[in-house]
A and B are shown apart, each in its own frame.
Chain A
Amino acid sequence: MSYCVKCGVKLSPGSKSCPLCGTAVISPEEQETAVPTFPRNPKSPPGQRIRRSTVALLLELLLILPPAVCLICDFVPDRSLGWSYIVLASILLAGVFILPPVWKGKKFLPFYFFLDFSAVGGFLAFLCAFTGGNWFWESSLQVLLLAAAEVYIAWVVRIKTKISALRFAALILTEIGFFCLGLEILLNRAYHFHSMPVWSLYPLVALSAIGVILTVIDRDPALKEKLARKFFT
């Protein structure tokens, strides 16, 4: 029988080290008689996982397939490329969104944020040029920047403060309200629909009101408990 010199607990026969503190057993005499408490299954050791890079590679291969087919379809009838550019651009956009997080994990969130918004901007600019319009520079870019700013605010608040789930929901709702307002102001400026915001005031008021209600609920633990109980069956 061996004991751990550090913890003072008796160890099962054949143990090489103490399961509590990792201290090696000085004289593990009964090595042969050791019977593991569970089958030591080589198929499921504690730390095996599908490699991210494998998943990323598989996804990449899957993403290449549709554009390849499109290119062939577009090229074969008249020996020139036309509509398949849009397909290519969309697939590229999807790739930018999906692949980096799958490949590198959550570590580079700010980078993905920047990358994704730039990719959407690039995609829209391309569409705009392809269709021969000017709408991207007139309004879409501004709307996109507004959306990016709001997502960024929500994200910073979520990461940097210990905001409760309810208050965060309130923040998101209020932000959506303000996004509507911003959207209408930007569209009005670009295309002169109205001189003042009209439709966006309704979502703004409604969503902000819900936000305030959620914040009030969040302030009262007893009420929160009561609501929780109502759903907790």
Chain B
Amino acid sequence: MAEAKKRWLKLDNAAKIYPAAKRRRWSSVFRVSVTLSEEISPLTLKKAIRRAAKRFPSFFVRLRRGMFWYYFEEVPAPAPEKDDAFPCRRMTRAELSRCAIRILYYRDRIAVELFHAVTDGNGAMIFLKSLVAEYLRLQYGAEIPSEAGVLNLNDEPKPEELEDSFLKNEDGCVSAGRGADNAFYLRGTRFRTDFLSLTTGMMPVDIVTEKAKQGNVSVTVYLAACLICAIEHIQKKTVGKRKHYKPVKLLIPVDLRKFYESETLRNFVLYITPGIDPKSGEYTFEETLKAVHHQMGGELTRQNFNAKIRANVRSEKAFILKIMPLFIKNWAMRLVYNLVGEKKSCLTLSNLGPIQIPEEMKKYVRRFDFVLGAQAKNNFNCAVLSYQGKLYCNVTRSVKEPLLERELFPLLVEKGIPVEIESNFYQEDLPH
């Protein structure tokens, strides 16, 4: 490939924080994976990746430093690698300057791990589905139509898929503030390496939906309330007096594609932070459910999003920021991230919802997973999706103690939801 022909992309508005805030413990990597019914053939996978790279140019990029901003530059598709002992291994600066995407395989599973600045969970899922459809076509000669989020690899990439939807949808008029109290912090003993423990809770979707319906809320709200109750229980056990209690809040990304009918394959989410403040008094589960439902209902409006997008975009357009050299901007952003970044919430809960795929694919595909990597400070994260009647709740942690898992899953069992547990953490691997 000639040097001059390489395409390059500006980082989208939401993505800018990721390169600046990254460091040893945190590189904001997330992962989507699919489990098929048979062992993966690396050769076929390699071919499928090469085909997909043409359709998804914004995914096969490397991070480069400019004078004033980071930017992405296209790279040739990487070969698939064997899966590591744990998900979402951090991407070092050296790795990011080679390629910001990783495609991994292990037994019957294909996983895509991405630097978060490239895209968000929904964008990654469209990529994964299209990649797997192509893999199935090549491996089994399956005829899979391009529908239900599977893109036709013979098409040219559309300009609207590469657009920064934040810039396009700036039409509000008020700036939304980011002020709030710091949230309760889940402590723990960090693993000595970058190891990330993944515990998956699998439960029947229909029972969870039924429980959510009984409370007149959505599945996301129901799970959020369960998480908040679990965290509140931990706070109750570890913090003495109620007046020292901190708010228990979650960071929940909302996919804006539906709100704005955007087709972008880059970052297009905003965050809301529902939660409770137990300082003033105890919350029952029902009260928590109601509180979260109310807060999410109130925040999930187009007007609210307009305001938030405007606040984001306006600060990007500030003249002084445009001309400030990158290293100073990085320093300032890192400082601000340390001051306010993650402290406003206990952890992230991201729900991709039910995964739809073309009918013809279903007999090959057993399972989907969505996993969030570790954060700089917050020790736990939770990512959810459902497929074929099963809900997969992936809790990741960068500390030894399964604090959250130990509260959350038994709580779900107590609510009458049968939970099956799977984990990549073996106590005996820890040095004593």
Q: List 13 A-B contacts (CB under 8 A).
A: A10-B418, A10-B421, A37-B424, A38-B84, A39-B84, A46-B192, A46-B400, A165-B335, A165-B339, A222-B177, A228-B336, A232-B336, A233-B16
A44 near B: Cβ within 8 Å?
Answer: yes
A198 → chain B, closest Cβ, in Å? 34
Once bound together, how far apart are the Cα atoms of A231 and B430, in whole Å? 41
Q: Would A47 and B191 be within 8 Å (CB), given that A9-B201, A165-B339 are in contact? A: yes
Q: Are A37 and B200 in contact (CB under 8 A)?
A: yes
Closest to B402 in A: A20
Residues of B with C-beta under 8 A to A160: none
Interface residues of A in 15-37 (CB under 8 A from B): 17-22, 35-37
Q: Are B193 and A47 in contact (CB under 8 A)?
A: yes
Residues of A with C-beta under 8 A to B429: 40, 45-47
Once bound together, how far apart are the Cα atoms of A12 and B423, in whole Å? 9
Q: Knowing that A7-B409, A45-B193 touch, tell me 17 more A-B residue pairs with CB under 8 angstroms.
A: A8-B410, A9-B410, A20-B199, A20-B405, A37-B198, A38-B84, A38-B198, A40-B429, A44-B85, A44-B195, A46-B192, A47-B195, A47-B430, A225-B179, A232-B17, A233-B315, A233-B316
Q: Are B199 and A19 in contact (CB under 8 A)?
A: yes
Once bound together, how far apart are the Cα atoms of A8 and B416, in whole Å? 11
B401 → chain A, closest Cβ, in Å? 10
Once bound together, how far apart are the Cα atoms of A43 and B422, in whole Å? 22
Chain A interface SS verdict (over half):
loop
B299 near A: Cβ within 8 Å?
Answer: no
Q: Are A12 and B82 in contact (CB under 8 A)?
A: no
Q: Are A228 and B339 in contact (CB under 8 A)?
A: yes
Q: Are B13 and A233 in contact (CB under 8 A)?
A: yes
A91 → chain B, closest Cβ, in Å? 30
Q: Are A17 and B427 in contact (CB under 8 A)?
A: yes
Interface residues of B in 198-218 (CB under 8 A from A): 198-201
A49 near B: Cβ within 8 Å?
Answer: yes
Closest to B317 in A: A233
Q: Are B16 and A19 in contact (CB under 8 A)?
A: no
Interface residues of B in 314-358 (CB under 8 A from A): 315-316, 318, 321, 329, 332-333, 335-340
Residues of A with C-beta under 8 A to B402: 19-21
**Residue interface bits B394-432, CB-to-A below 8 A is 1, else 0:** 000000101001100110011000111111111101110
Q: Would A37 and B423 be within 8 Å (CB), given that A7-B406, A20-B410 are in contact? A: yes
Once bound together, how far apart are the Cα atoms of A229 and B336, in whole Å? 9
Q: Are A19 and B423 in contact (CB under 8 A)?
A: yes
Among A20, A46, A228, the residue within 8 A (CB) of B178 is A228
A195 near B: Cβ within 8 Å?
Answer: no
Once bound together, how far apart are the Cα atoms of A21 and B427, in whole Å? 11
Q: Are B315 and A232 in contact (CB under 8 A)?
A: yes
Q: Are B195 and A9 in contact (CB under 8 A)?
A: no
Q: Are B107 and A35 in contact (CB under 8 A)?
A: yes
A161 near B: Cβ within 8 Å?
Answer: no
Q: Would A10 and B420 be within 8 Å (CB), given that A44-B86, A230-B315, A232-B336 are in contact? A: yes
Residues of B with C-beta under 8 A to A38: 83-87, 106, 198, 424
Q: Would A233 and B321 be within 8 Å (CB), given that A40-B85, A228-B339 are in contact? A: yes
B251 → chain A, closest Cβ, in Å? 15
B311 near A: Cβ within 8 Å?
Answer: yes
Residues of B with C-beta under 8 A to A228: 178, 336, 339-340
Interface residues of A in 185-233 (CB under 8 A from B): 221-222, 224-225, 228-233
Interface residues of B in 13-44 (CB under 8 A from A): 13, 16-17
A131 near B: Cβ within 8 Å?
Answer: no
Q: Are A20 and B421 in contact (CB under 8 A)?
A: yes
Interface residues of A in 143-186 (CB under 8 A from B): 165
B312 near A: Cβ within 8 Å?
Answer: yes
A-B pairs, top 10 by smallest CB distance, nearest first, are A41-B85, A19-B423, A46-B195, A10-B420, A233-B316, A8-B413, A38-B424, A231-B332, A7-B410, A45-B429
Q: Are A20 and B315 in contact (CB under 8 A)?
A: no
A48 near B: Cβ within 8 Å?
Answer: yes
A73 → chain B, closest Cβ, in Å? 38
**Residue interface bits B73-96, CB-to-A below 8 A is 1, else 0:** 000000000111111000000000
Once bound together, how far apart are the Cα atoms of A48 and B335, in whole Å? 30
A2 → chain B, closest Cβ, in Å? 11
Residues of B with C-beta under 8 A to A17: 427
Q: Would A39 and B83 be within 8 Å (CB), given that A19-B402, A231-B321 are in contact? A: yes
A183 → chain B, closest Cβ, in Å? 29
A195 → chain B, closest Cβ, in Å? 43
